[in-house]
Structure 1
Amino acid sequence: MNNLNILFEDDDIIALNKPSGLLVHPSWIAPRGTPNLASMLKEYFNGGSPYTIHRLDRPTSGVILFGKNKEIAQKMNLLFAERNVEKTYLCMVRGYTPEADLIDYALKEELDKIADKHASKDKEAQEAVSEYRRLATVELDIPVGRYEKSRYSLVEVKPKTGRKHQIRRHMKHIFHPIIGDTNHGDNKHNKSFRENFDLQRLMLMASNIKFEHPVTQQMMDISAPVDQYTDQLFKKFAWDGLYLSEQTLI
């Protein structure tokens, strides 16, 4: 049996805590046979196929939902499309952010060089809105660039739309990129965290999801604890108690 971290399961839906670095589906960018959640679920279902409800980027960890049948997946897809699902993310970013703000900044669709090579590159930017609040800050006696000290914030983000890499691109837009983001981040700070804290992941976690179950009409509130590395890192910054960890669940 493969090692799935199941947060919730009933006859219709299964919620998993996806680790950073694990693919959701097989991908042309990864060698054949690379582990992925869809294949692991198929084995868990004894050959049954999981139905995609939404996605998480490979480097992002946290709550992800799959449907056990086509009908529930379609109903859940509609909830997402009508913005009746509240998603909450946790991230660590460069600098001290404002205490809270709403980022309303349209984003052009990010196209993949191979998978989207025939797609139009002239599409207009799409509405993209993210609400965030700062949970904590830390100042480290570690020089980065021309600064003798480095500052970081722990931020909670609630995206109101679902554009590709929305949170990563929005945090970059306000000059507070996410640590560990090799595409939209700050290479100097990423390097500092690799050298000083052995950082090997993107510091973006899907921490919570809320929605009304399409079958039971029960209000679902599913949270995922951060991984052991993130928990230990955040404790060094005295941020424990501000997020869900495995120890919180004991």
Structure 2
Amino acid sequence: MTLEILYHDEHLVVINKPAGMLVHKGERLSHGREFVLQTLRDQIGQTLYPVHRLDKKTSGVLLFALSSEVASALVKQWSEVDKQYLAVVRGHLQDTLLDLPLAPPRDKFDKNWVPGPEKPAQTRFTSLAEAELDLAIDKYPTSRYSLVLCEPLTGRKHQLRRHLRHLGHPILCDSRYGKNRHYHYFRDHFGVDRMLLHCWKLHFIHPITRDTVKLEAPLDPIWQSIIERMGWQSALV
């Protein structure tokens, strides 16, 4: 596999992470899986230092530093980075700023897991487009969906997924926090085999040059097919 590089200089490298890849082996070892860090390290021949993470099922902008010093500087300024995600959610979502503290989600693989304390969590949600399809997937004769811009103001694990579930608008094809009936329908009829959450844009100050870096990760074919199916092409122009 060759990963799509969005930006590369002597301090940073940024890729468009495919859905279905874990960032590194430490997340959950499993035979036969591919990992972004090891794949990209072999691709560019340089040591990598992760700055942030994306869930396995999430695609989009993923940033690595090429030294521990740069990684540390980026982590320190991470709360100031402008992060924009795209999500397709169930229902017609109203614009909102959600302030809902979150505890770490349950780790089903850890037999000794105990609940942790809640920490502040804020996300701004903006509806970019809506659609209503003549599909009786659930108990209603039609099915409604929204294309949503998600801007996390904090960085809790599964924050966007859990906040959207709390609002009653789970991400389409999110098998953990959504409704599997919709997941199965879109998988079987539209070939959507992954959660529709994408880290679309990152804007930040380069820790060395102090230039403003603006990155955008193109949508993959599955995302493009859903945008076309819903008639949302103009929403992202």
Partner of 1:125: 118
Supply the AA of the counterpart residue of 1:77: V
Contact 1:225 1:243 in 2 (8 A): no
What does 1:73-112 align with in structure 2 at a 5 Å threshold? 73-80=71-78, 83-98=79-94, 100-112=95-107
Aligned CA-pair RMSD: 1.6
Supply the AA of the counterpart residue of 1:207: W
| SS of alignment partner, residue 185 of structure 1 | coil
| SS of alignment partner, residue 200 of structure 1 | coil
Give the Cα separation in 2 of the matches to 1:91 and 1:204: 5
- Structure 1 gaps of 5+ residues are 245-250
Partner of 1:226: 219
Give the Cα separation in 1 of the matches to 2:156 and 2:91: 24
Contact 2:2 2:43 in 1 (8 A): no
Q: How much has 1:64 moved relative to structure 2?
A: 0.5
| SS of alignment partner, residue 170 of structure 1 | helix
Partner of 1:159: 152
Give the Cα separation in 1 of the matches to 2:30 and 2:89: 31
| SS of alignment partner, residue 157 of structure 1 | strand
Give the Cα separation in 2 of the matches to 1:122 and 1:132: 27
Give the Cα separation in 1 of the matches to 2:34 and 2:112: 28
Supply the AA of the counterpart residue of 1:106: P
**What does the per-residue CA deviation read over 1:47-81, in whole Å, with 9 as the maximum and x for residues that have no partner?**
x320010000000000000001111001011111x
Matched, 1:12 2:8: no
Q: Residues 27 and 122 (structure 1 numbering): CA distance in 2 closer, same or farther, change over 3 Å?
A: closer
Give the Cα separation in 2 of the matches to 1:228 and 1:199: 10
Give the Cα separation in 1 of the matches to 2:112 and 2:230: 46
| SS of alignment partner, residue 157 of structure 2 | coil
Name whichever of 36-45 and 54-63 sits farther off.
36-45
Q: How much has 1:186 moved relative to structure 2?
A: 1.3
**What does the per-residue CA deviation read over 1:148-191, in whole Å, with 9 as the maximum and x for residues that have no partner?**
11010000000000000000000000000000100000122212
| SS of alignment partner, residue 202 of structure 1 | coil
Q: How much has 1:118 moved relative to structure 2?
A: 4.8
Partner of 1:200: 193
**What does the per-residue CA deviation read over 1:120-139, in whole Å, with 9 as the maximum and x for residues that have no partner?**
x2432111100010000011
Q: How much has 1:44 moved relative to structure 2?
A: 2.2
Give the Cα separation in 1 of the matches to 2:27 and 2:154: 27
Give the Cα separation in 1 of the matches to 2:193 and 2:126: 25
Partner of 1:42: 41
Give the Cα separation in 2 of the matches to 1:117 and 1:31: 18
**What does the per-residue CA deviation read over 1:225-247, in whole Å, with 9 as the maximum and x for residues that have no partner?**
11012112211211113237xxx
Partner of 1:248: none
- Structure 2 gaps of 5+ residues are none
- TM-score, normalised relative to structure 2: 0.95
Give the Cα separation in 2 of the matches to 1:78 and 1:228: 35
